[in-house]
């Protein structure tokens, strides 16, 4: 059974939650790698920042509202020792020009030699807590100490796809705040997507999967302290007074005995 304070807190959270609290949105293709046999694995230089630049109607690439990216998925082929990836945000500045605006934590990749069903089809899923502004895109920076890790853009499926790589030749770069020109490849996309959730109370948590209470919530009341038990002596029974002419003897009222007077003779 819920305590009264917990119940009130839960009710306030429910009543104050905005209608958009469950409006999670996928940025990128819903299925990033529908046909692994029709893909291309590319070893990009360390520091390359890739992103899907254009998509057909119905595919959401640009964040429609400001919020928090709470998870993301990326497909690769082989991955090499000390390979890592980092989720990034980009803001369009003009035709083929972008500013890198932020990034989430660096995620190490396991070493994998993809064979059989894993060829061009290794799925990596990451949790995140990355803020993103309305109008921004998501991308991924490829980080490694030595040889490159393979990324899988999907080959032609339909018109309108285009993926880009900032920093021209797409080597090391993508520093935040600097404008970068994107190289691009038509009729391909990057095999990744991300989940965007609203953050209406601006606490840095996705309202649907990360925030336990959206909006104005009452704090849980402090528990009422239990008073310490007190030790009291039992009341002393009052002795019953005897009637006139009687005295108490062994807890009883008895008739007073008359004293005999003796005379000196």
Q: What is the pLDDT of residues 146-203, one digit of tens each?
A: 555 667 676 655 668 888 887 644 554 555 555 656 666 678 899 999 999 988 887 8
The predicted model gives 130-152 an average pLDDT of: 81
Alpha-carbon gap, residue 223 to 35, rounded angstroms: 58
Domain boundaries, the chain: 26-198
| DSSP 8-state secondary structure symbol assigned to residue 134 | T
Helix count and strand count (H, E) for the chain: 1, 16
DSSP class of 117: G
What CA–CA distance (Å, rounded) separates 82 from 148?
10
- Mapping DSSP to helix (H, G, I), strand (E, B) and coil, where does residue 26 land? strand
In contact, 193 and 30? CB cutoff 8 Å:
yes
Give the tens place of pLDDT for each residue, 16-52.
444 344 489 999 999 999 989 888 888 777 888 889 9
Q: Is the dihedral of CA 173, 175, 181, 187 positive or negative?
A: positive
Q: Taking the CA of residue 191 as centre, how many other CA atoms within 13 Å lie in the half-sphere pointing to its CB?
A: 27
Class of domain 26-198: mainly beta
The pLDDT of residue 150 is: 64
pLDDT of residue 99: 87
* pTM above threshold 0.85: no
- Take residue 132 and report the two structure tokens written for it: 């993103």
Task: Please answer whether residues 143 and 172 qualify as being in contact, where contact means their C-beta atoms are separated by less than 8 angstroms.
Answer: no
- 10 Å Cβ neighbour count for 1? 5
Dihedral-angle region of residue 166 (phi above 0 means left; psi in -120 to 50 means alpha; beta otherwise):
beta
């Amino acid at each position: 059974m819920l305590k009264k304070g917990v119940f009130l807190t839960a009710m306030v959270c429910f009543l104050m939650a905005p209608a958009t609290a469950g409006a999670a949105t996928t940025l990128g293709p819903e299925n990033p790698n529908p046909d692994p046999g029709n893909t291309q694995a590319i070893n990009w230089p360390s520091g390359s920042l890739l992103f899907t630049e254009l998509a057909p109607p119905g595919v959401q690439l640009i964040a429609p509202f400001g919020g928090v990216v709470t998870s993301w998925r990326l497909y690769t082929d082989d991955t090499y020792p000390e390979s890592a990836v980092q989720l990034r945000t980009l803001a369009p500045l003009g035709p083929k020009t972008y500013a890198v605006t932020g990034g989430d934590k660096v995620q190490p990749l396991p070493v994998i030699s993809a064979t059989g069903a894993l060829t061009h089809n290794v799925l990596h899923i990451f949790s995140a807590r990355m803020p993103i502004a309305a109008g921004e895109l998501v991308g991924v920076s490829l980080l490694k100490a030595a040889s490159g890790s393979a990324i899988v853009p999907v080959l032609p499926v339909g018109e309108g796809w285009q993926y880009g790589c900032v920093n021209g030749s797409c080597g090391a770069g993508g520093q935040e705040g600097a404008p970068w020109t994107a190289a691009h490849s038509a009729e391909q996309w990057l095999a990744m997507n991300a989940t965007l959730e609203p953050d209406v109370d601006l606490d840095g948590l996705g309202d649907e999967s990360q925030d336990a209470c959206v909006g104005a919530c009452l704090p849980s009341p402090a528990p009422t302290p239990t008073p310490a038990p007190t030790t009291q002596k039992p009341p002393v029974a009052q002795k019953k007074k005897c009637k006139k002419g009687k005295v108490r003897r062994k807890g009883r009222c008895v008739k007073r005995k008359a004293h005999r007077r003796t005379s000196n003779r």
